[in-house]
Each structure stands twice: as C-alpha cells, then as structure tokens.
Amino acid sequence: MHRFVPYYCFMVLALGLFNSSSAQLTETEKLLAEMATVQGNDHLLKAAVMAGKDRALLCGNCHGKTGNSVRDYIPNLASQNAAYLFNQFELFANGERKDYVMSRLAKNLTRADRVNIALYFSQMPVQARPQPVPMSTKGEDIYNSLCFTCHQKDGHGNGSYPRIAGQPYEYLDKTLQGFAGGNIKRKNSPMAVIVANMNSQQLKDVAAYVASMP
Ligand code: HEC
Ligand code: HEC
C-alpha cells in the first residue's frame, strides 16, 4: 500500500481529473487548482502528504525533516502556505528567484513533486526554537502599519502571501535587506516597493518582531 500511494497520486495529477475544463488556464493555474482540490479532500491530502514526505528526504538536510530548518539562514517550510511553496519552486526553476542550491534542485522536481512536497511541508507543525533576536518595540508598530494587510495580523499569510511568523531572524533580516537593496535574487517581488523607504534598522526591527511571532 505504501509504495502504491505516490504512484496513485501522480496518476491523479497527470490525468488532470480536477478542474481540467477551463482550457484558458495556464499550466501553473491548473496545478494550483488541482492542489486546492487535493487540500479539500482528506483522503487525497493524506496520499499527497505521504508522497511528498518520500520526495522531501533530501530537503531535510537543510530545511529539517519536518520543515523546521537546521540553520538560521535557511527558511522553515513547516506550516508554510502550500500555494506559496509551489510558486517558489516555479520561480527558482524559471530563474526569477535565484539561490545556488535551490535553483538547481527546483529544476529536477516533477509537477507532481512540486504539489506533493508543498502539501507535505504545509501540513507540518512549526517548532519554535531559541534564536538570537534583538529586542525591539518598534518592530510591532511597523508590522501593524505596513505588513498585516498581506501577511495577516498573525503573520500566517494566506495562499501565495507567505507565512513569515517564526522564521529565523537571520533569514528574515537577510531577505528584507535583499528586497531593499535592488532585489537581484527575487525579481518582480511586490516586497521591493514596500521596503523601498525603510532603512536598515527599521528592517531589523520588523524582522525581530516577525521572528518572535508564534
Ligand atoms: C543545501 C541546503 C538546501 C537543500 C538541500 C534544500 N534547500 Fe531549499 N533553501 C535553502 C536555502 C539556503 C534557501 C533560502 C534561499 C534564499 O535565501 O533565497 C532555501 C529556500 C527554499 C524555499 C523558499 C522558502 C521561502 O520561504 O521563500 C523553498 C520552497 C525550498 N527551499 C524548498 C526546498 C525543497 C523542496 C528541497 C528539497 C527538494 C530543498 N529546499 C532543499 C537550502 C536548501
Ligand atoms: C502588498 C502585499 C504585501 C505587503 C503589504 C507586505 N508583503 Fe511581504 N510579501 C508579499 C508577497 C506576495 C511575498 C511573496 C513574494 C515574494 O517572494 O516577494 C512576500 C514576501 C515576504 C517575505 C519573504 C518570505 C519568505 O519566506 O521568503 C518577507 C520576509 C516579507 N514578505 C516581509 C514583509 C514585511 C516585514 C512587511 C511589512 C514591512 C511586508 N512583508 C509587507 C506581499 C506583501
């Protein structure tokens, strides 16, 4: 049975049993619609998560087996929104987002892998871990005026708006400074405009607040 699951899941996706009626949808939109259908069906979700777990073995070396990363410069994938994860695989693979390791890995993931791995990590719980986060009261004010509309009050995001709550401070700071500094590793990101008028200290303040969110 265990060996049967990934194959079954791939068949479901490959045959496009879901939402295949609308021919004008792009390939990505179709896969996202299929993923949403799987998310809404307990049986299919379980099968996809098991298939994803199998395919995510290698990812565990850096992101942790359950998506709780092993280094502070590496993002957690646990409880991340599945649509966001799926989109990032696309961006790494097509070169819009660049990272030495991820750009190579993403190109080798099949369509089914992308859906199943995204669903697997989205279902894993985040484990808070102690990390050096500078204290700041200003970060919360910045968050509540500039960030909550997309990332939500609790920082959990929604759909393609990523969960940022509880990401390691080092990753958040590095990523925000990157968005502010010309954004060469993440082209066309809406984040560039948002942080354009913030200085480095303000980015550190908000990163510290976000890292401390549960
Ligand atoms: C050698 C270490 C390493 C391995 C192995 C690895 N990753 Fe990554 N991954 C990273 C790093 C570092 C980043 C952050 C890149 C950046 O700063 O933009 C990242 C970023 C990501 C992101 C973007 C997350 C976000 O919050 O934006 C996703 C999704 C991802 N990895 C998925 C995977 C998957 C799936 C695998 C296995 C197939 C994998 N990674 C294997 C190091 C790794
Ligand atoms: C208009 C909507 C919007 C607002 C407002 C917004 N963001 Fe974002 N943010 C996004 C989107 C969409 C992404 C994912 C796309 C990308 O990679 O750029 C993102 C990505 C991020 C990431 C990278 C997440 C990861 O896992 O790599 C961080 C960190 C972040 N935002 C922090 C913030 C902070 C802090 C603020 C407030 C100062 C903020 N965002 C305001 C839409 C928004």
Whose tokens are 């299919």? That residue is 44
pLDDT of residue 32: 96
pLDDT of residue 121: 98
Question: Which residue from 196, 195, 178 is spatially nearest to 187, judged by alpha carbons?
Answer: 178
Would you say the CB of residue 150 lies under 6 angstroms from ligand 2? yes
Would you say the CB of residue 8 lies under 6 angstroms from ligand 2? no
Q: What domains does the chain contain, in order, with CATH numbers?
A: 4-122 (1.10.760.10), 138-212 (1.10.760.10)
pLDDT of residue 135: 66
Distance CA 104, CA 206 (A): 31
161, β-bridge pairs: 158
> How far is the CA of 121 from the CAs of 42, 76, 81, 102, in angstroms?
16, 9, 9, 16
Would you say the CB of residue 185 lies under 6 angstroms from ligand 2? no
The C-alpha angle 46, 52, 53, rounded to 5 degrees, equals: 90
Whose tokens are 């060469």? That residue is 184
Task: Assess contact for 138 and 202: CB atoms under 8 A.
Answer: yes
User: What is residue 70's three-state secondary structure?
Assistant: coil
- H and E: helices and strands count for the chain: 12, 0
Distance CA 58, CA 175 (A): 23
Task: Give residue 74 CA to ligand 1 midpoint distance, Å.
Answer: 7
pLDDT of residue 83: 97
Closest ligand 1 atom to Cα of 105 = 38
Task: Give residue 135 CA to ligand 2 midpoint distance, Å.
Answer: 22
Mean pLDDT by 10 residues, the chain (214 residues): 46 48 78 96 98 97 97 97 97 96 96 97 91 78 97 96 96 96 85 95 95 92
Would you say the CB of residue 166 lies under 6 angstroms from ligand 2? no
Would you say the CB of residue 118 lies under 6 angstroms from ligand 2? no
pLDDT of residue 23: 59
Task: Give residue 1 CA to ligand 2 midpoint distance, Å.
Answer: 41
Task: Assess contact for 89 and 114: CB atoms under 8 A.
Answer: yes
pLDDT of residue 184: 79
